[in-house]
Amino acid sequence: MFKKILIANRGEIAVRVIKACREMGISTVAVYSDVDRKSLHVQMADEAVPIGPAPAIESYLNMDRIIAAARATGAEAIHPGYGFLAENSDFARRLEKEKIVFIGPNSTALELVGDKVRARQTMEKAGVPIIPGMNSIPKDISEYEVAAKKLGYPVMIKASAGGGGKGMRIVCSEQELRPGLEAGRREAKSAFGDESVYLEKYIEEPRHVEFQVLADNYGNTVHLFERECSIQRRHQKIVEESPSQALDPALRAKMGETAKKVVRAAGYNNAGTVEFLLDKNKNFFFLEVNARLQVEHPVTEFCTGVDLVRQQIRIAAGEKLSFSQKDLEQRGHALECRIYAEDATKNFLPSSGKILFLKEPKGPGVRHDCGVYSGWEVPIYYDPILAKLIVWAEDRDAACDRMLAALNDYAILGISTSISFLKDVVNHPEFRAGRTNTGFIKNHFENWGEKEKSEDKLRLALAAAAFDSINSGPSGKKVVGGTQKATVSPWQTLGHWRLGEGR
């Protein structure tokens, strides 16, 4: 086993990896940019190395600086977290040459799954269902026209080097195809440095269901069931859960076996996620492989009891999987809400500034994966995720109740967060009924920000009144024996008030 690991990331995921290392008796090296000098991951690691200025391209994406930091500290392996260099096959290949272990898949598999068209070819050959569409990049526009006509409109333009929704567009008619392709190519060229685009049949309001997989270096492969991630806004996931309401045991087994087939066909190892789209008739199609530990991995950890980061590290150290498929089962129901520093009433604009107060929810079945602390300043340079709130309960209804109670018990002051928006999502009757698909936010929360803004003034007035009544005795609570109890800060007894979100 490794003695020392460098974590090439920041925020809640760096903290998550550090915690796994501590449990395993592995020392940790954090890296940090100039604006992250006081960040939680830096404080928690055994050692910390500065790697450059705030812009990610000069720090967290700077391979030379990160490799130099590993050399200088004697770290034998690097955990990339998610984002940044996590799915960069050049980085994985460089580490292979440098004899530093990349805690992730081998560079060849990483390269294959990063090329969507090649991945489609490979999966089709392996007998994995793929969305009807093109399996090569044509030279001539006329070939796109022929393909689109054959597929039938609407079709979707996707970038071969894309993924996660970047560079996608829907085309509803032949007239839109040419301008769509031109714009799509331009976008792909500037975003990925590769203008290759291809067409797929457009699947309307699908569900996004993904399977967690683990593969060791000896050909042993397991799946750890699914996560449903249909609640998204502009390809940003908001709420994730396991199990999915859309699967029955037979479909789950079939998709799980298909996910393992994907892993084997790609020569993939370590942890990964196989994404599927599920259409209205419950047909499923392979979409892509996410070759990293995902943000939403804790819902799988809750339902299976497997620590995915520990497994990643064990596999990277050359150990065999210590369990097989029959040892795994899904228990109960888990939900995750992503806590973003953003203002839902200002079109979800990122919010930066100092966190003046943080009260984290606690309790049975509540997990808070947090990358921030009270007094810390949120920088503008990176993904605005602050923390994740994950709950587990015996069934979905109980998990929703637990999530709402935890969100109500959660206070972050000084910056705007997505907490109030999340409460309304989890409380929505369609969500409670399990009727989620990728159109959920657009269909039910289009004008949420405007409505929220107008209700805010009323809330402030009510909060002021609550303050007042607290100062004259805890509101709604009997004062025992006629003597007044010590004043309770409203932040300790916080219900569903929202105050001080930077407005």
Catalytic residues: 292
Q: Which stretch binds ligand MV4 (CB under 6 A): 7-15, 181-189, 197-205, 389-397?
A: 197-205
DSSP codes joined into one string, 206-246: -EEEEEEEEE-TTS-EEEEEEEEEEEEETTEEEEEEES-TT
Residue from 37, 125, 235, 354 that binds ligand MV4 (CB under 6 A)?
235
87 is an interface residue for ligand MV4 by CB under 6 A:
no
Do residues 202 and 155 touch, judged by C-beta distance below 8 A?
yes
DSSP code for 326:
G
Q: Which is nearer to ligand MV4, 282 or 496 (CB)?
A: 282
- Report the C-alpha gap between 192 and 85 in whole angstroms: 14
Residue from 52, 105, 167, 206 that binds ligand MV4 (CB under 6 A)?
206
Three-state DSSP at 48 gives: strand
342 is an interface residue for ligand MV4 by CB under 6 A:
no
User: How many C-beta atoms lie closer than 10 Å to residue 254's C-beta?
Assistant: 12
415 is an interface residue for ligand MV4 by CB under 6 A:
no
User: What does the block give as tokens for 102?
Assistant: 């990349």
Q: Which is nearer to ligand MV4, 235 or 331 (CB)?
A: 235
Distances (CA, A) of 165 to 129, 169, 248, 365, 453: 20, 9, 27, 32, 29
* φ and ψ of 215, to 5 deg: -140, 125
- Report the C-alpha gap between 436 and 228 in whole angstroms: 9
Q: In angstroms, what is the minimal distance from the CB of 296 to ligand MV4?
A: 13
Helix or strand run (H / E) with residue 47 = strand 47-52
Q: In angstroms, what is the minimal distance from the CB of 2 to ligand MV4?
A: 32
Q: In angstroms, what is the minimal distance from the CB of 299 to ligand MV4?
A: 17
Q: Which stretch binds ligand MV4 (CB under 6 A): 6-14, 88-96, 201-209, 368-376?
A: 201-209
Cβ-based burial of 103 (10 A; exposed 0-12, middle 13-18, buried ≥19): buried
End-to-end CA distance of the chain: 50
- Report the C-alpha gap between 211 and 148 in whole angstroms: 30
Q: In angstroms, what is the minimal distance from the CB of 199 to ligand MV4?
A: 9
Q: Among residue numbers 265 through 284, which ones bind ligand MV4 (CB under 6 A)? A: 275, 277
Count of residues of this chain found to bind ligand MV4 when the rule CB under 6 A is applied: 18
Peptide bond into 154 cis (omega under 30): yes
Do residues 384 and 372 touch, judged by C-beta distance below 8 A?
no
Give the x/- contact pattern for ligand MV4 in 148-177, rule: CB under 6 A.
--------x------xxx------------
Residue from 33, 39, 122, 232 that binds ligand MV4 (CB under 6 A)?
232
Residue from 144, 202, 225, 392 that binds ligand MV4 (CB under 6 A)?
202
413 is an interface residue for ligand MV4 by CB under 6 A:
no
Q: Among residue numbers 426 through 465, which ones bind ligand MV4 (CB under 6 A)? A: 438
Q: Among residue numbers 113 through 152, which ones bind ligand MV4 (CB under 6 A)? A: 131
Residues that bind ligand MV4 (CB under 6 A): 131, 156, 163-165, 200-203, 206, 208, 232, 235, 275, 277, 287-288, 438
